Amino acid sequence: MLRSFIEVDSKSHFPIQNLPYGIFRTNENESPRVGVAIGEYILDLAVLDEAGHFDETAVKDKNIFKQKALNKFMELGKGAWSEVRQVIQHLLSENVSTLRDDRDMRNKAFKKQKEAELFLPVEIGDYTDFYASKEHATNVGIMFRGKENALMPNWTHLPVGYHGRASSVVLSGTDVFRPQGQIKKPDSPEPVFSPSKQLDFELEMGCLIGPGNLLGEPISVEEAENHIFGLVLVNDWSARDIQSWEYQPLGPFLAKNFATSISPWVVPLEALEPFRVSGPKQDPEPLPYLQSNKAGSFDIQLEVSLKTKKMENPSRIVSSNYRYLYWSMSQQIAHHTVTGCNLNPGDMLATGTISGSDKQSRGSLLELSWRGTDPVQLENGEQRVWLEDGDELTITGWCQGENYRVGFGEVTGKILPAKDLKIKEALKAAKQS
């Protein structure tokens, strides 16, 4: 097994088999730059580039790893990514002395993760959220339309999706203010304006697009993965009560646009290759433009934990897996672009809520509590139907190899009370006077 001279615990998410990309800075160097995670450290790629280690790769711009986002590197494509990855793995290998025995270079190139500030890894131009889990779509359909009409007629024929809000995609650790909007109770004749009472999380993953496609030129299902730079964890926070009033006829709007949290480390698709598996059998057979003979899913274990204000340690409430998704990333990309829609470097496509067939694998409180009728029991005796102020939600995920893990780290967010609009209006009036 490939090993690094950097000591990495077998349960660490960041062994030499992973090498996810992120953007960081330190007190020593306050300029954001590109790094890869290895164990408890970050390897500064700008330092390696300045030393000439990428001279034989397709990376010719000496500033490409001195960027505040990964977009420029992502534009280079699969060949360049693979070459850079090979160089990094070689330099980190336990039997290669280049970095291992060069103390000065190691001091320049390696920084402790705990001493670094991480940033949103990508400038996201567009964000599309899919609805790719059959179990999730079925559960939601049963709740709102009954068992006989759980899935809409189009669901098994195409990857259903909608365009999300890229400007409110935030980095893990960013607090989330409880959203406000119009809410109409079933027994009320008119809606009221109120903070959301049914705030929820959604366990998702997102793929980040590298090279895009020209307007008018679809991406085939066979070529789709060549456009994927890597994957991140996603929590697409959702206000269910706002959504139930606003969603007809055009779908979610305010219920989804206030925050979408992602993890800071982008795991390359190449690192996931050993964990490739087939997704669920698709019936009926998709139309030809969505058909692929290649296994299109990955065995990624996913967990969700909830920590309340009264808890010292979080309580795990979900255990799921990426492989449950009915529609693959390749199918999502092929469908997204079949009209000629152009994807751009940095675009994010999220899976939608990932749920499995058993209760523990349901990827939202909407499903776990069955729309509020079956409260979730936490380890300290508390119950949850929806998220409350002060609750901290953490999603993590990893692929389990033999004595190593290829992991995604975490995506975390804490719920803060809704902003007081009256106070904001008073402050605005005071400034104007």
- Cβ atoms 323, 357 nearer than 8 A: no
Q: How far apart are CA 42 and CA 44, in angstroms?
A: 6
Among 94, 119, 144, identify where a domain stops: 119
Q: Give the per-residue pLDDT at 426.
A: 60
Q: Give the per-residue pLDDT at 76.
A: 98
Averaged pLDDT, groups of 10, the chain, 433 residues long? 95 98 96 98 98 96 96 98 98 97 97 98 98 97 93 97 96 98 94 97 98 98 98 98 94 96 98 98 97 96 98 97 98 98 98 97 98 96 98 98 97 96 64 67
Residues 283 and 385 in one domain: yes
Q: In this structure, is residue 305 part of a structural domain?
A: yes
Q: In this structure, is residue 427 part of a structural domain?
A: no
* CB neighbourhood size of 195 (10 A): 19
Q: How far apart are CA 372 and CA 346, in angstroms?
A: 37
Enclosing domain of residue 77: 21-119
Q: How far apart are CA 120 and CA 81, in angstroms?
A: 20
Residues 57 and 180 in one domain: no
- Residues near 277 by beta carbon (within 8 Å), at least 6 away in sequence: 295, 297, 298, 299, 323
Residue 206, SS3?
A: strand
Q: Give the per-residue pLDDT at 253.
A: 95
Dig out the tokens for 345 from the structure. 């470097």
DSSP secondary-structure letter at 38? E
Q: Give the per-residue pLDDT at 46.
A: 98
Q: Give the per-residue pLDDT at 424.
A: 61
Entry pTM: 0.95
Q: In this structure, is residue 212 part of a structural domain?
A: yes
Catalytic residues: 136
* pLDDT (tens digit per residue) in 312-325: 999 999 999 999 99
DSSP string over 111-123: EEGGGSEEE-SS-
Q: How far apart are CA 387 and CA 384, in angstroms?
A: 7
Residues 113 and 174 in one domain: no
Residues 137 and 263 in one domain: yes
Q: In this structure, is residue 106 part of a structural domain?
A: yes
Burial class (CB in 10 A: 0-12, 13-18, 19+), 21: buried
Residues 133 and 225 in one domain: yes
Q: How far apart are CA 202 and CA 324, in angstroms?
A: 15
CATH code for the domain of 70: 2.30.30.230
Pair type for strands 203-209 and 180-183: unpaired
Q: In this structure, is residue 429 part of a structural domain?
A: no
What one-letter code names the amino acid at 277?
Answer: V
Residues 37 and 181 in one domain: no
Number of domains in the chain: 2
Q: Give the per-residue pLDDT at 409.
A: 98
Residue with tokens 């990893």: 398
Among 91, 119, 147, identify where a domain stops: 119
Outline where 160-289 has alpha helix (H): 240-246, 269-272
Q: Give the per-residue pLDDT at 421.
A: 75
Q: In this structure, is residue 213 part of a structural domain?
A: yes
Q: In this structure, is residue 5 part of a structural domain?
A: no
Q: In this structure, is residue 426 part of a structural domain?
A: no
Dig out the tokens for 333 from the structure. 């990309």
Residues 94 and 216 in one domain: no
146: left (phi over 0), alpha (psi -120 to 50) or beta: left
Residues 397 and 300 in one domain: yes
Q: Give the per-residue pLDDT at 245.
A: 95
Residues 135 and 34 in one domain: no
Residue 151, SS3?
A: coil
Q: Give the per-residue pLDDT at 420.
A: 85
Closest Cα partner for 347 from 163, 196, 221, 191? 163
Among 85, 119, 153, identify where a domain stops: 119
CATH code for the domain of 173: 3.90.850.10
Dig out the tokens for 190 from the structure. 């008119």
Q: Give the per-residue pLDDT at 85.
A: 98
Q: Give the per-residue pLDDT at 301.
A: 98
Q: Give the per-residue pLDDT at 15.
A: 98
Q: How far apart are CA 266 and CA 270, in angstroms?
A: 11
- Cβ atoms 207, 327 nearer than 8 A: no
Residues 245 and 113 in one domain: no
Residues 39 and 92 in one domain: yes
- Residues near 36 by beta carbon (within 8 Å), at least 6 away in sequence: 19, 20, 21, 22, 42, 43, 45, 88
The CA angle 144-130-259, to the nearest 5 degrees, is 85
Residues 206 and 330 in one domain: yes
Q: How far apart are CA 298 and CA 272, in angstroms?
A: 7
